[in-house]
Amino acid sequence: MIELINYPNGKKISESNVTHHISASRRGMTLEADINQTNEYYLSTDKAVIHKKPTPVQIVHVDYPKRTAAKITEAYFKVPSTTDYNGIYRGKYIDFEAKETASKTSFPFSSIHPHQIEHLKKVLQHGAIGFFIIRFKAYDETFFVEASKIIPHYLDDQKRSLSYKWFKEEGILIPFGLSPSVHYLKVIDQLYFRRSV
């Protein structure tokens, strides 16, 4: 943890100023880009092997202008059957979905597909680590929330969203950093391995 940074000219900057600067400098970055950068960092430092699952594409038409060349002229994205990311960390299978919302007050359940909830339920039943990473863009805040906390609310027919206040109380705020950008393994260590990174 950074407590104080001293510049060569003697000027000092506190941790809160560093965090604010990092947060401001990365505005406009998507959550996906931040998580992809984080996963590349984890892979390059041999901490974990976690990848974004490719979105399946249905190829409809291919032209062959030359015998040695093929050109896809029509294709459609299929609806993914599971979540965005999966991999392994400390011998445990990890599976999670990442979502952003522009709302200042709540996260809408319409952002999550029923098949993703079903998939995460099965992941949890088999003893893996399943969770959501949710970013509130208006506040530039990213939360780690265990899937087991969101699933019951999602399945409640009376609920259409979870409030920002709920995330502040039930989620764990993931602080922004330079590398990794979204250090979610730190949260996993605290929750599942009772250790700090």
pLDDT digits (tens, 9 = 90+) for 110-130: 999 999 999 999 999 999 999
pLDDT of the residue at 177 = 87
| pLDDT tens by residue, 133-189 | 999 999 999 999 999 999 999 999 889 999 999 999 999 999 888 889 999 999 999
Main-chain phi, psi angles of 107, to 5 degrees: -110, 120
Assigned domain for 110 exists:
yes
Asked, for residue 114, whether it belongs to a domain, the answer is yes
Specify if 61 maps to a domain.
no
Number of domains the chain is built from: 1
Which CATH number fits the domain that encloses residue 144?
3.40.1350.10
Task: Tokens for 173, please give them.
Answer: 């705020």
* 161 is a domain residue: yes
In a domain, 19, yes or no: no
Domain with 40 in it: 30-54+81-192
**63 in a structural domain:** no
Note whether residue 164 is domain-resident.
yes
The reply to whether 18 falls in a domain is: no
